[in-house]
Structure 1
Amino acid sequence: MAFLQGIPASEGIAIAKAFRFEPIDVKIECKKVENSTIEVNLFYEALEKTVDELKQIKEHASTEAGIENATIFDAHLLVLRDPELIEPVIDRIMKKQYNAEFAVKEITDHYIHLLLQTENEYLKERAADIKDVANRLQAHLLGIPVFDPSMVTENVIIVSEDLTPSDAALLNPSKVKGAVTNVGGKTSHAAFIAQSLNIPSVVGTKTALGDIENGDVLVVDGYTGIVHINPTPELIEEYEKKQEQTLRDLSELSWLAKERTISLDEQYFSIVGNIGSMEEAKGVIEHGGEGIGLFRTEFLFMEKKQLPTEEEQFHVYKSVLESMDGKPVVVRTIDIGGDKELPYLKLSKEMNPFLGLRGIRFCLGEQSILRTQLRALIRASAFGTLKIMFPMVAVIEEFRQGKLMFKEECEKLIEEGVEIGHIELGMMVEIPATALMIEAFAKEVDFISIGTNDLIQYTLAADRSNEQVSYLYQPYHPAILRLIKNVIDAAHKEGRSVSICGDMAGNEVAIPLLVGMGLDEFSVHSAAIIKTRAHIRKLNKAEIEKKIDILLNLPNAVEIESALENFFYKKL
């Protein structure tokens, strides 16, 4: 019995036969066309067909499949409307008399090559997005049918080199039970979509297509990243039992959507959702979230061809606040930089974008952008319970500057006769220096949210999406846990609440630890709200508190995680 080790990208267990998904590899050759004008018209026709196709996929993603990441396809549509794609293609057709499909290939290959050369793992994964658009555009030019994963008629596990976002969005969860790829990472768009569809997925196996044949029986473990190839009947039975137990648990827990999160010793905890759009806010409501703990507003900026106006932003924020019916909504101001770029802002390239102009630093350098966003948020505050937080705060002066701009915009709007609500102002803790100096920050902020994903990366100097150093991405490293505990204790001393909006908040093993540390709020993906609530309701906070010092004094992440599993997780 063979197995592959990859990166767990979407939780769950899948058992089914392998279906190798290998898109038709058409060799596109350069041909001289006689009439360039006709060829340009053919290009425009294919462009419109591709736009219509992606709009349909987006609609399918947001309705039939219930995907909360359908806004991913706005970026695809922007690529198809981007003058930097269209104009060079037309230029090659008109001046060099290239056939349209070759012109598209030459331009898109150039951009894909540039992205793959960058050291930024997130940007490398965006190459798959451009490849997705290029494949569909070329298929329409050549009259070749594009493989539609939604047409799979039997239970299978898709095995492929990679899954493009549109491939992933068309997966039929009733038939496609799992996915395994050679490449990819946790931050790929396909991974996000697989999570939304609850399709267990393992990526980055490197050799899946070489080792797996059509019809092989596979067991995909989306928790550990292991893919078993033609396992023994005993192993299949073991995983089937785990699968059945998981389904029973989910069914039995559905009633918790209407309950509060109270531990066995009657301590209350808030469970809220992470969102990036209005569509995702609906998921938080459906799963019983007690509010929104993180509204990532940068996606509102990334799906546009230009900066969204104050009015456009106001309507989005107002809609989200109204949908939550008075429950708190924590909005993070635009977090551009690092792994997120705005193509219409021609920012200078940085050697280390994750350590460069991002988060609050970007906003303080582009104050008009932040002021417009703050005005829209302040106006929307009259329609719900709004909290605003600044990302990537490193020094107290950054928070003070942001707060000053906030106050100035409040005063201007009041003078204009605009009604505004009470707004709390907080910050993200994502930098080790901030976590160490939290006492000073806690005196000036209204609340604190810990972004554990970045805090872990910056503390251990390890990019979690980079397969070569992923072993260093250790949520249970003693340094990480001590920083989190330090933040919670210092904040509570000043009467400030603390939430976590990173992956740790929904991690089954980490939840007891965070409860014992005194975390007030768990901000998770909407699909994890009920599960997180169920875990906490089985815990006794007072009992866990007695073991916290023992855990934090263990020497390494392996021993801490093992102790956590022995102390708490096996009891859940």
Structure 2
Amino acid sequence: MKSLQGSGASGGVAIGTLKFYRHDRQLVSRRRVEDVQAELERFQTAQAAAIDQLGKLYEKALTQVGEQGAQIFEIHQMMLEDDDYCDSIRSIIERQSVNAEYAVAITGENFAKMFSDMDDDYMQGRAADVKDISERLLRVLEGEQSDAIDADQPVIVAADDLAPSETVQLDKSKILAFATAGGSVNSHTAILARTMGIPAIIGLGPEFQAELYDGKTAAIDGATGQLYIEPDKETQAALLEKQAKLAERKRLLTQLKGLPGETQDGQRILTYANIGNPSDLGAVLANDAEGIGLFRSEFLYLESQDYPSENEQFQAYKSVAETMAGKRVIFRTLDIGADKQVDYFHLPKEENPAMGMRAIRICLTRQEIFHTQLRALYRASAYGRVAIMFPMIASVWEIQEVKKIAAQVRAELTASGVPFDEHVELGIMIETPAAAVLSNQLAKEVDFFSIGTNDLTQYTTAVDRQNQDLGRFYDPHHPAVLELIRLTVENAHRNGIWAGICGELGADLSLTETFLAFGVDELSVAPASVLPLREKIRSLNQSNRQAILDRYLEVR
């Protein structure tokens, strides 16, 4: 047995096979071949296999997301049969006497660049499609499976780290847990694990690699950050016992279903859930969340090969609103940029992307994208209690411009006779120090605040939350962060609006009493954290609120 120590990112115990996620390859080698005809036949066989894979994906998607969502696989099938694309691959093999992998990689690069350089937005969007079909062909040629997780049974997904665009495309039914060499507790891998309610360990170090551990049996303890390779019987028995106790604890928490998040002296606080996909709704309902405090709409963009249409977005938002049956659902508008990159957006490379073109800045710069999303959201509001939240607001003029665009959308829908709720709440995320300091002025423009503590901590302490080497400097409990939260809530109430927290700090039970003393109205957390949070709230007595605030001020 070998033990590796990382950082616990999501609690729980899992025992299973380690499967390392295969990232897109960075380099394809060029080698000379003697039998050109055999190489052409290799390409032709791979082409047929890739088309067959796409056909199966189309049938699967048809049942899950409907005709529109499945259409991309039909398009990719046609592109794989395109004469120009295939002739280029054959020509490179024949003229240069090289391997099919090299011919596919070069053709993919050339065609993707050709599309990217075009002036037409639609044609530019085809660049990502060419990359995708070329990658699929390369996987087939190299004997890899089409799925990033090649397993019949659920496994522990291992990687050096996972990008948001990779995590959202994983088959969640095949995942027991996550284990990564790098990353941070605020990475999207960790957030996804907490949303799914499965164990996760990050920061296992450079020794954790596929060459050494892929396919081996492992056990992980998401609370302690301990990973055991080929654990002995005693270790397995201890972890299974811990797993059983956690299951019993979870069972006892279910007794809180249907009960309000209310302190012993009657202070009421809403317990909501954060999700990123309609598929997470089952966890929301199973954990009795009173609403959805954060629906990360950017995951619709991360999962797509091109900009999702108004109707595709409408169907997703509508299904969430309908399923929540009148409970509030807060949709955060597109938060692309920084660590969440999407190829077809063609965002420029930036020295400091966390400070650059992201979130509301993209929406106000590319208003056609924003306009489409707002139309879909307002249309969905006719089917449930929808609220719309705008991320990365730092100035009053930004929210004023956002409200003008929203008013234009409402006027368009009214003129077209399209039904929508005319009383949709509009709110903003408080995730920059500027927004917190200006919260008194911003509160006059909106219906609610939701404090994004992950970015608020990052920007307040000037620490990159994705940088694992800065872990001990990234301090969500920093007095300045807590003071900005307190100021934001105070200014919200001064102006008659409500304020919640939707960042990871909302699930930190050591701060629940402090947040209640601040007067926070709502806490939105991963679905699995809803009932533990509600239990904590119901154990508290806020009749001594002033003493709690005085204690906070002394510590500060």
Choose from 45, 48, 52 the match for 1:45: 48
Paired residues in the alignment total 519
Mark the CA change 1:482 to 1:172 in structure 2 (over 3 Å): closer, same or farther.
same
**Conserved 8 A contact 1:47-1:80:** no
Map residues 244-393 of structure 1 onto 2, 5 A cutoff: 244-393=244-393
Deviation at 1:367, TM superposition (A): 1.9
Map residues 189-208 of structure 1 onto 2, 5 A cutoff: 191=190, 194-195=193-194, 198-205=197-204, 206-208=206-208
Residue 523 (structure 2) pairs with residue 525 (structure 1): no
Map residues 53-132 of structure 1 onto 2, 5 A cutoff: 91-97=88-94, 98-103=98-103
Letter in 2 for 1:203: I
Q: Encode CA deviations 1:339-384: one digit per residue, 9 max, x unaligned.
A: 2334333333332222122222221112222222222322332222
Q: Encode CA deviations 1:127-170: one digit per residue, 9 max, x unaligned.
A: xxx999999754532556789764469xx977776688599747
What is the match of residue 503 of structure 1?
504
Q: Encode CA deviations 1:16-73: one digit per residue, 9 max, x unaligned.
A: 58868699x9x9773433377645433422423454676799899x99xxxxxxxxx9
Output the CA distance in 2 between the equivalents of 1:29 and 1:89.
18
Letter in 2 for 1:521: E
What is the match of residue 125 of structure 1?
none
**Conserved 8 A contact 2:313-2:373:** yes
Mark the CA change 1:81 to 1:533 in structure 2 (over 3 Å): closer, same or farther.
farther
Q: Which runs of 5+ in 2 are unaligned?
A: 111-129
Letter in 2 for 1:200: P
Mark the CA change 1:52 to 1:472 in structure 2 (over 3 Å): closer, same or farther.
farther
- What SS does the aligned partner of 1:523 have? strand
Q: Which runs of 5+ in 1 are unaligned?
A: 64-72, 111-129, 556-572
Output the CA distance in 2 between the equivalents of 1:179 and 1:413.
44
Q: Encode CA deviations 1:509-563: one digit per residue, 9 max, x unaligned.
A: 23333223221111122222222222212222334552233234436xxxxxxxx
Letter in 1 for 2:295: F
Letter in 2 for 1:420: F
Deviation at 1:393, TM superposition (A): 0.6
What is the match of residue 512 of structure 1?
513
Mark the CA change 1:356 to 1:209 in structure 2 (over 3 Å): closer, same or farther.
closer
Give the RMSD, CA atoms, in angstroms: 4.5
Output the CA distance in 2 between the equivalents of 1:436 and 1:82.
54
Select between 87-96 and 406-415 the one with higher mean Cα deviation.
87-96
Output the CA distance in 2 between the equivalents of 1:233 and 1:46.
43
Output the CA distance in 2 between the equivalents of 1:333 and 1:54.
29
Deviation at 1:8, TM superposition (A): 2.6
Deviation at 1:481, TM superposition (A): 0.6
- What SS does the aligned partner of 1:34 have? helix
- What SS does the aligned partner of 1:425 have? strand
Output the CA distance in 2 between the equivalents of 1:159 and 1:322.
36
Letter in 2 for 1:275: I
**Conserved 8 A contact 2:197-2:527:** no
Select between 209-218 and 490-499 the one with higher mean Cα deviation.
209-218
What is the match of residue 402 of structure 1?
402
Letter in 2 for 1:34: Q
Deviation at 1:457, TM superposition (A): 0.9
Map residues 531-542 of structure 1 onto 2, 5 A cutoff: 531-542=532-543
Letter in 2 for 1:443: K
Letter in 1 for 2:458: Q
Output the CA distance in 2 between the equivalents of 1:377 and 1:22.
34
Deviation at 1:416, TM superposition (A): 3.3
Mark the CA change 1:106 to 1:530 in structure 2 (over 3 Å): closer, same or farther.
farther
Letter in 2 for 1:6: G
Mark the CA change 1:433 to 1:535 in structure 2 (over 3 Å): closer, same or farther.
same
Select between 245-254 and 545-554 the one with higher mean Cα deviation.
545-554
- What SS does the aligned partner of 1:258 have? coil
Letter in 1 for 2:521: D
**Conserved 8 A contact 1:393-1:434:** yes
Mark the CA change 1:371 to 1:182 in structure 2 (over 3 Å): closer, same or farther.
closer
Deviation at 1:506, TM superposition (A): 1.8
- What SS does the aligned partner of 2:450 have? strand
- What SS does the aligned partner of 2:336 have? coil
